[in-house]
Every structure is written in C-alpha cells, then in structure tokens.
Amino acid sequence: MARITVTVNGADHTDEVEPRLLLAHYLRDKLRLTGTHIGCDTTNCGACTVLCDGLPVKSCTMFAVQADGREIITVEGLATGGQLQPIQQGFKEEHGLQCGFCTPGMMVAATALLERNPDPSEEEIRWALSGNVCRCTGYVNIVKAVRWAAQAMQEQAAPEEPATRQPATEQAATR
C-alpha cells in the first residue's frame, strides 16, 4: 500500500491505496465521484478525462499514486455554488449530448481548451477534443456547445475585466 494525498475539486484527500489502483477507480469507488466515466479498456475513448494540475489527462491510464501531490479537477468540480459553468450550459443549450456517456470527459477537455484559448475556432475545438470519442452526436453539436461557452464566457468577462483571461473555475467564484 502507498499513502497519497490528492487535492480533488479543491479538497485534500489522504488515503492508503494499492499501487495498481487506477486514478479513475480511486475517484469513482473511493471518493464516489462517479461523474468520471470509464468507457474503454484501451485508453482510447477519453470518457475518463480529468484535469491534473490544470491539464487534461486520462484517469484510466494513470495510477492513483501518480496523482500524489497533484491537483485533480473532475466534472463534479466544474460547477461552483450550484451554478452551471458556461461549458455545461453550452452542452445543454446546443444539445451537445445524447446518451451523455462521453459528456463529462468532453466538458473537462473543453474547459482546459477554453482556459488556454478563450476564442477557439472549430478546427481548434476538434483538435483539442480529438482524444474524446462520442458514439452518438457526430460531434457537430459538441463543437457548437464549446463555441456557445466561449461566447458566453467572453460576454461575461467583457463588462468587468476586458483583457484578463481567468481560469473558468475562478471566474465563476469571482462573478
């Protein structure tokens, strides 16, 4: 067993884990954060995407011990204070989901994109989401959902602080 301390959605968790425990299983089974989905055994689908120190990674292809000392954000960490984030709202408004299985991974990957690039083109969106597979939508509405979020975030940011790019999570907190 190994002792790890991981910050998940802002809260520290210290646990004894088996080295072979995957981060996805740690999040789902130990912390009961079941929004992170597992859609394949082969590191292909991206349903398990979480942010590790701000960058999207596949939690199914990472041991929990590798996350020791890191900051993890899961889909549950996107909304703050019961308020949906623009990316979540975008998926709702533009029908970016059907069965919803891929959606947590899509939203997490898109969140990282929008933090880096608040005004992505369709091509940039498709490139950033190329590690996330959707079996239902055909991707068109997913791209629209991300564009919707980008616009919403820019409109929100515009009145107060035109030039600053804040991470989406902070933006919500200060709004």
Partner 1 sequence: MRDVGYLRVGDTAEALTAAARPGARLIAGGTELVNLLKERIEQPDLLVDISRLPLTDITVGPDGLHLGALARMSDVAAHPEVRSGYPAIAQALELSASPQLRNMATMGGNLMQRTRCPYFRADHDLPCNKRRPGSGCSAIDGDHRAAAIFGASESCVATHPSDLAVALVALDAQVRTTARTLPARDLHRLPGDQPHRDTVLDHGEMILGIDVPVSPPSAYLKVRERGSYEFALVSVAVAAETSGGVIRTARAALGGVAPKPWPLDVDLAGVPLRRDELRAAIAPAFAAARPLPGSEFKIELAQRAVVRALTKPIGLMGET
Site residues (vs ligand FES, CB under 6 A): 38-40, 43-48, 58, 60, 97-102, 134-137
Torsion of CA 109, 145, 76, 81, to 10 degrees: 130
Backbone angles phi, psi at 103, to 5 degrees: -60, -45
Cα–Cα distance measured from residue 50 to residue 52, given in angstroms and rounded to the nearest whole number: 6
First to last CA, the chain: 42
Nearer to ligand FAD, 5 or 43 (CB): 43
Minimum CB separation of residue 102 from ligand FAD in Å reads 15
Q: Distances in Å between the alpha carbon of 23 and those of 8, 19, 73, 103?
A: 11, 10, 12, 19
Q: What residues from 78 to 107 belong to the interface with partner 1 (CB under 8 A)? A: none
From the CB of residue 29, how many other CB atoms can be counted at a distance below 10 Å? 12
38: partner contacted, choices ligand FAD, ligand FES, partner 1, none (Cβ within 5-8 A by kind): ligand FES
Nearer to partner 1, 8 or 64 (CB): 64
Q: Is 43 near ligand FAD (CB under 6 A)?
A: yes
Q: Is 44 near ligand FAD (CB under 6 A)?
A: yes
Q: Is 7 near ligand FAD (CB under 6 A)?
A: no
Q: Which residue ranges make up the site for ligand FAD (CB under 6 A)? A: 43-44
